[in-house]
Structure 1
């Protein structure tokens, strides 16, 4: 009897606690089992549908190394940015006191077959030239590095360098406007829809690297060919002797060690686009 009374008291206490803490209805064990089974079947159905849908997307015909559906989304994103770009817009700049050390991230086109950084000697830098190909495929006179560093108005730019991996550093660049250089050496190509910049080829280079940038970025006043970082000459890891800088693109577009520029009005590809990334890669 004592045991039964104890059990009844515990049951009453449990009911009271449920009433105080649970706004939902109290259901029987049989109803709970029924609802649990229904919920399990519903979630299982959603999971199977999601799996089938994901596999269909993955098995779609590829466009530049990713499913056509995904590439269409990236192209739509690019079309949005193309519409919002406007003349006269400027990226935010900072003071010299804000500058930080820029990590070395990405060595594509800078390494030899053994994976070691290829250093550019002073003699090589003194004779460095950027090869130029017109949109019609003709070779244009190359652009001497000596001319880049001496014949144009020098620009100082303190901006945020953003990596597609999610990190950013505020850094100080010294260089000249890409548009100024092209206006002298390839004026007819300044109206091209795209420019594809590449690292120099060579037997000792493990792989070439390329970056395609749109006409808006090519012509922008904050797009530079730079040879100094935070007041010091570029190192091999940062693209000596000359690299591209633009605050409107992620680091994968700011190609290090520019060896050539090709112009085109057709939609191009480049190193990372061929590996599934966004051709625009900007913000």
Structure 2
């Protein structure tokens, strides 16, 4: 008996709600609510997937930054120390500033507040059949019609606004993903330059400087013998020994070695990439790193030109 009464009440509500829907704009309201729910689900799902992909890419970026910082703190630091020690024989060398790490990127989160606002809005306009019947009973058909049509106008506007917001969130997420992927490419370009500089210093500059240093010591001792002076090797060498035409190649090599000291010092104490990546125009970043590589390549060619050993 109780079940039959419940079924009867439910049928009455259904018939009443259907009647009201056809006369008050309730059917349109129901369609709008369903549409807003679908949009909510689609945007939340698509943006969540994009954010997961962005954060995986950010992890790759951060791993590359960690590798780069390790190279800078070890190999580049060692190169700077060696070059500084040798070049100080020819005069004062600017002290190298403290190491400054390249910065990692933060992961991003779903814009929860935007979706919570839509969720709350849906909850407010998602009337049940009982709500529809109660509104009709207490406010009369005319009152419900006016209220529902006003709600429909506002809901239509909210759907349009949320569609714009959702598309904007999607585009921003896609743009962020593209930027992080391009940032990784820029890291690769920069790290190749850094490793090229380090390899050039270790394989070409250091051995040649050791040879030049030995030559200078021999030259100093020879001059002391000729002048019948007490033999000693000073820690500061007169660059004039190399500036004469006879030793021009040594002189030019040392001058180019100074470039590698300056650029290695900059790599060590300056977060070059972090400074570059604050610029939103990645074309400029690529150009800056490409110029960096061209300068290094040109200087490496000069080093080869003036090598003796």
**TM-score, normalised to structure 2's length?**
0.18
Larger strand proportion, structure 1 or 2? Answer: 1
Larger proportion of helix: 2
Q: Which has the higher contact order (CA 8 A, sep 6+)?
A: 2
Question: Which protein is bigger by CA-based radius of gyration?
Answer: 2
Q: TM-score, normalised by structure 1?
A: 0.19
